[in-house]
Amino acid sequence: MQVAVASYGARIRARRGLLVVEGREGRREYPLHQVDEVLLLTGGISISARALRMLLRAGATVVVMDARGEPLGVFMKPVGDATGAKRLCQYQAAVSGRGLEIAKGWIWRKIRGQLENVKRWRRRLAKYREYAERISAAADALRHAAEPHDVLEAEAAAAEAYWSAYREVTGFPGRDQEGGDPVNAALNYGYGVLKALCFKSLLIAGLDPYVGFLHAEKSGRPSLVLDFMEQWRPRVDAVVAKIYDGLETEGGLLTHQSRLRVAAAVLEELGAAGKPLSAEIHREARALARSICT
């Protein structure tokens, strides 16, 4: 279970096995053993040391996010399935080319997810057939990609058609990572939630979040997280396309209410009953750790 807290002045504490969140919207209680993540979406939130200790002891994480949705920090137990051997395997995969093949699989899933979204929106798209064909062609090109720039070219070709379709569906001006319009701000925020979950899962699996297979290394950039999360970005896109109407920004940032709405919708997608995406992410992270050492 993921718990998002976005009310300025909210207080979080633990009491009799429950996580208690109190604020202007009232009081919410969650069984501590069912909480996987607590997302702090704004400033002015207080959390007691007892609640923090009990969350960490139960294996939950507490994520502090900035106003753009970027995770600023992740509190979690300093343990997991961590061994030096797994990280050594990861480093070898990064330089041997095996990691690139793994990353290709993630980009392929991303492109397939983009195609599924476009098919879902087909009745709203004047150029549906053109978009679908261009994205399918990019997926075919990816199969033959042998170098990182080939993979990136295929990804970019799919993205060009995909975001054109997205513009028709939402009316947004186009994909811009720094964009201050409600749709771009919501996409960035949703990706931030996804990024925090992927970061945690890779760490627990014993991998180094900063050594990736496709994204270039840069100081402070969690390249493996960025590689790994690509496969689920279309799920966030689909959520934002459902709820974009009515979202508001101030100064290029989502308002508190819009921030909570985006986070709640993305978390609902991550934890959907029956087939929770959060469980899939944890499972894929563990499978990655196993596969690179065999």
How would you write the chain as a 3-class SS string?
Answer: CEEEECCCCCEEEEECCEEEEEECCEEEEEEHHHCCEEEECCCCCEECHHHHHHHHHCCCEEEEECCCCCEEEEECCCCCCCCHHHHHHHHHHHHHCHHHHHHHHHHHHHHHHHHHHHHHCHHHCCCHHHHHHHHHHHHHHHHCCCCHHHHHHHHHHHHHHHHHHHHHHHCCCCCCCCCCCHHHHHHHHHHHHHHHHHHHHHHHCCCCCCCCCCCCCCCCCCHHHHHHHHHHHHHHHHHHHHHCCCCCEECCEECHHHHHHHHHHHHHHHCCCCCCHHHHHHHHHHHHHHHCCC
pLDDT in tens, 84-122: 888 999 999 999 989 999 999 999 999 999 999 999 999
Tokens 């496969």 -> residue: 231
CATH number, domain of 57, equals 3.100.10.20
Give yes or no: residues 160 and 133 share one domain: yes
Q: Which of the four pLDDT bands, split at 50, 70 and 90, describes residue 243?
A: very high
The per-residue pLDDT for range 181-201, each reduced to its tens digit, is: 999 999 999 999 899 889 989
Number of compact structural domains in the chain: 2
Q: Report pLDDT for 241.
A: 96
Which pLDDT value is given to residue 273?
57
If one counts every other C-beta atom within 10 angstroms of the C-beta of residue 62, the result is 21
pLDDT tens digit string along 21-66? Answer: 998 878 999 999 888 889 898 888 999 999 999 999 888 889 898 8
Residue 76 within a domain = no
On whether both 41 and 88 belong to a single domain, the answer is no
| Same domain, residue pair 128 and 247 | yes
Q: Which among 181, 193, 149, 162 is positioned nearest to 250, based on CA atoms?
A: 181
Mean pLDDT of 151-173: 96
pTM confidence score: 0.86
User: Is residue 34 located within the same domain as residue 94?
Assistant: no
Q: Does the residue 77 lie in any domain?
A: no
147 is in an annotated binding site: no
pLDDT: which is higher, 15 or 77: 15
- 215 marked as part of a ligand binding site: yes
Does one domain contain both 52 and 122? no
74 occurs within a structural domain: no
Confirm whether residue 282 is marked as ligand binding: no
User: What pLDDT score was predicted for residue 81?
Assistant: 58
In a domain, 156, yes or no: yes
Its domain, for residue 11, covers 2-65
List pLDDT tens digits, range 207-235: 999 999 998 888 888 999 999 999 999 99
